[in-house]
Amino acid sequence: MNKSTSHLAKRFWDAVGHMQTAIWLGGVLVGGSMGVFRFMNGASLWLHALFFIGVAVCWGIILKLLWPIIGKYLPRKGAEGKSDYWRCPDGKLHEWTYWRGENTGVYMCKNCRTQVDKATLKAHTDQGPLRDPDDSRQKVREINFQSHRPPYAEFRKRIEDAHEVWAFWHSGASAKNNGLFRTGRIKQLLLVFPNHEGLASLADMTHIDVEELRRSIFEAAKEAERWNVEVKWWQGLILPPFTIGDPTKSGNTWVVAEHIVPYQDADLRPSNYITDPQICDRYREAFMEMWNNRKLTGATVGLKN
């Protein structure tokens, strides 16, 4: 959405958000105008004031009674101004937004129209997926974006808590230097082929001497195999690194996917921590395709001895 469209959308939501007040004020204005007309035609001032107040009160009561029905069809962003993606009763991720519905502070799925009370939703944050309209609701964070590579203490804990880890890394040097291979959790590892035709470009983008990068790949592969990690060279397109935790345990899989920012330090790479089952399955299937592609991986590295 471009800036102009976004601005128009915001103005629309603001207009809808103030519609209830506008309708009420419109009724008061009509009542006031009628009162002025009566006053100009000889009615006393106190009758004019009484008529004005009566119209305002009656209009407010009528609007209060009708608004729950009208409000169902008038979406409104809440004070937070947020929409997000949560898991719905059908098991799929849909966009939810803050609506003015039958109750104040209701989140509604824009696809299946399921409504969630705001207080209940916040009380059950991060406690599991939505199941049916009568269950407790909570916000499900399927993808957590970080503006940098996760701290190694945090990354190491995720690996230690997993039963099995698969990874596609460029060199594996950071894992070697931080003792990740010694955890025994990393089972399958793809590293960029040290004689890859694109290695010089990768080294240039990461401000590393190409020979130093080549040497660090060999050393990481040797260290990994020493700790019984099965390692293969990757000779295909150099992709952004990613790590898959518990790829064979349904429902527990997670992925840490990094983004390559050319000519920036590796620690400054943005990353995503993903727990969405469908996205994790895609990464798992992609890794298996890469791992089993003999044209691009060949045999295992075999540097253990």
99, 120, 141 - which closes a domain: 141
Within 8 A by CB and 6+ apart from 131, the residues are 89
CB atoms within 10 A of CB 49: 12
pLDDT by residue (tens digit) across 14-35?
554 455 565 666 666 666 666 5
Q: Are residues 97 and 136 in the same domain?
A: yes
CB atoms within 10 A of CB 256: 24
Q: Are residues 90 and 15 in the same domain?
A: no
CB atoms within 10 A of CB 192: 24
71, 105, 123 - which closes a domain: 71
pLDDT score at 146:
76
What does pTM read for this prediction? Answer: 0.54
Q: Are residues 24 and 162 in the same domain?
A: no
78 belongs to a structural domain = no
Q: Are residues 180 and 241 in the same domain?
A: yes
pLDDT by residue (tens digit) across 170-224?
999 999 998 999 999 999 999 999 999 999 999 998 889 999 999 999 999 999 9
pLDDT by residue (tens digit) across 157-169?
999 999 999 999 9
Q: Are residues 110 and 233 in the same domain?
A: no
Q: Are residues 167 and 225 in the same domain?
A: yes
Q: Which of 77 and 271 is assigned the larger pLDDT? A: 271
Distance CA 24, CA 67 (A): 11
247 belongs to a structural domain = yes
- Looking at the 3D structure of the chain, how many domains does it have? 3
Question: Which range (74-78, 131-135, 156-160, 277-281) has the least confidence?
Answer: 131-135
Cβ atoms of 148 and 271 within 8 Å: the answer is yes
Q: Which domain holds residue 115?
A: 83-141
Q: Are residues 153 and 37 in the same domain?
A: no
Distance CA 51, CA 35 (A): 6
pLDDT score at 140:
42
71, 91, 116 - which closes a domain: 71
Q: Are residues 42 and 162 in the same domain?
A: no
Q: Are residues 14 and 104 in the same domain?
A: no
Distance CA 280, CA 29 (A): 58
pLDDT by residue (tens digit) across 247-283?
987 778 999 999 888 888 777 888 889 998 889 999 9
